[in-house]
Amino acid sequence: MKPHTYQFLVGVFASMGSVLFGYDLGVIASVVGSSSYKELFRSNSAQDGAVVSLFTGGAFFGAFFAGPAGDRLGRRLTIMLGALIFLLGGAIQTAAQTIDYLYAGRAIAGLGVGFLTMIIREIAHPSIRGRVTGLQQFMLGIGSFLAGWISWGCFVNLTNDGQWRIPLGIQMLPALVLAALILLFPESPRWLIDHDRADDGLATLARLHAAGDVTDPWVRAQFTQIQESISFEHDHEAKSYAELFRNKSAFRRLFLACALQASVQMTGVSAIQYFSVSIFAQIGIGANDALKYQAINSILALIAQALCMLLIDRFGRRPTLIVGNLVNCVMFIIATILLALFPPRTDSSSTAGWGFIIVTWLYNISFSFACGPLSWIIPAEIFDTHTRSKGVSIATMTSFAFNTMIGQVTGIAIEAVGWRYFVVFAVCNLTNAIFFYLVLPETKLLPLEEMNFLFANSPWIVPGSDPAAYRANLAEDVERRATELRAKGESMSHHE
């Protein structure tokens, strides 16, 4: 098997945790919108908001523990732990007889998902790292796709508790597969090298990049560079959460990653996913049709996410994120105008209704191509080895915190102010674009080890600066070392 193919397949499996999260994003709208759920629990908007938001509230704490767990236990064992916790939570919420049990199951399952934010991008060659990391959003889209069609099918064909219990129960299957098989996959080579297991780290690098050949020049050069980078990090970089805030380079990266994760939630994506039934009802579209259109939406999202994986390492992170937020802004402006001018009607096939549906689809295509994948790619690649678990966990906690807020207030806000609530997201998408135009440097194709130099030396305000002046050229250094090793005759193999 070709090394790049092997890396990609390992990434597919390691990102299955995102299938769980994506499935929940897609399934919860049908759960709180189903008639059998309402008959059993007789919940109000605040309680429905709690059912939605407790999942991401639990994920907030899971992401906090994922950082130290990832550093101490390794990436694989932490993923296994998260999958087992998710299975427990999934079983409780599927069997819930009162809303309190549903609350508990949602929180525990969320705790497990918070652990499943591990670092698959540490296995990837710089030339395909954007694609491999983008798998996290693509697999989230796979989960949302499955949830959309499964929940719609149950909503249409069932009237008993199976209408919402079956969709909730199915989400345990990916977690079961993940827990059973994760130990068959390689540990992060950087984590192994950082924990005095250099030989294992070298062997893993060889498996990932040279079909197991530990004498391959590129593998040897990358191994040496990782060792040097880790040695530097141990001497100079953050050794605790506190130092993420004291070290200027580390704090800049943390600020940028947290801002990105918060901005993504303020694009409005979670509001639409969680409360599609209530939102579509604002323009006269019934629950059945709302879930059907959202299921179609999940197909469009998958296509956009696949295109992102293919093109992100060509287009770059910075322009994609800026343009994506601007497109989101335009779509929300149009959607808000439609909601304001056309109050609910019983005919969902009206021109206004179809206009709203199409704008929602276009928004989702834009989000799934740009903001969604980049919210995982950028935080994962800008941190160094010694701060990556802690930094990514704090950034992910920020995402879950804002997600929890959106989940709790959206239903209440729609009842209270209607279409005016969506003005918030139109404004936030615009300010997102302006903010990242000012502060986000380009990181495409840079080795992970080069991020230290970039964020320690480049200015905070990006426009007007010369990107070439803030490159350590470590990718070229790896190739130079590999060439020297070939010249010395240490290996005749050719790195793919």
What percentage of the chain carries pLDDT values higher than 90? 45
| pTM attached to this predicted model | 0.79
Whether residue 346 has pLDDT greater than 50: no
Whether residue 449 has pLDDT greater than 70: no
Whether residue 314 has pLDDT greater than 60: yes
Rounded Cα distance, 36 and 287, in Å: 13
End-to-end CA distance of the chain: 11
Token pair listed for 125: 């060659």
| Least confident stretch, 20-34, 200-214, 470-484 | 470-484
Q: Is 61 exposed, middle or buried (0-12, 13-18, 19+ CB in 10 A)?
A: middle
Q: Band of the pLDDT at 300, cuts 50, 70, 90?
A: very high
Whether residue 248 has pLDDT greater than 50: yes
Q: Is 226 exposed, middle or buried (0-12, 13-18, 19+ CB in 10 A)?
A: buried
Whether residue 348 has pLDDT greater than 50: no
Q: At what angle do helices 317-341 and 351-369 cross, to 10 degrees?
A: 160
Task: Return all residues near 284 (Cβ < 8 A) that are at least 6 apart.
Answer: 342, 343, 344, 345, 346, 347, 348, 350, 353
pLDDT at position 327: 98
CB 434 within 8 A of CB 325: no
Residue whose structure tokens are 């007789």: 42
Q: Band of the pLDDT at 163, cuts 50, 70, 90?
A: very high
pLDDT at position 361: 96
> How many Å separate Cα 82 from the centre of its chain?
16
Residue whose structure tokens are 């219990």: 165
Whether residue 286 has pLDDT greater than 80: yes
Whether residue 22 has pLDDT greater than 80: yes
pLDDT at position 134: 65
pLDDT at position 7: 65
The residue that leads in pLDDT, 363 or 470, is: 363
DSSP string covering 8-32, please? HHHHHHHTHHHHHHHHHHHHHHHHH
Whether residue 126 has pLDDT greater than 90: no
Q: Band of the pLDDT at 127, cuts 50, 70, 90?
A: low
pLDDT at position 468: 73
Whether residue 123 has pLDDT greater than 60: no
pLDDT at position 31: 93
Task: Return all residues near 370 (Cβ < 8 A) that are at least 6 apart.
Answer: 308, 320, 321, 323, 324, 325, 327
CB 166 within 8 A of CB 153: no
Token pair listed for 76: 């694989």
Domains of the chain, earliest start first? 3-487 (1.20.1250.20)
Mean of all residue pLDDT scores within the chain: 85
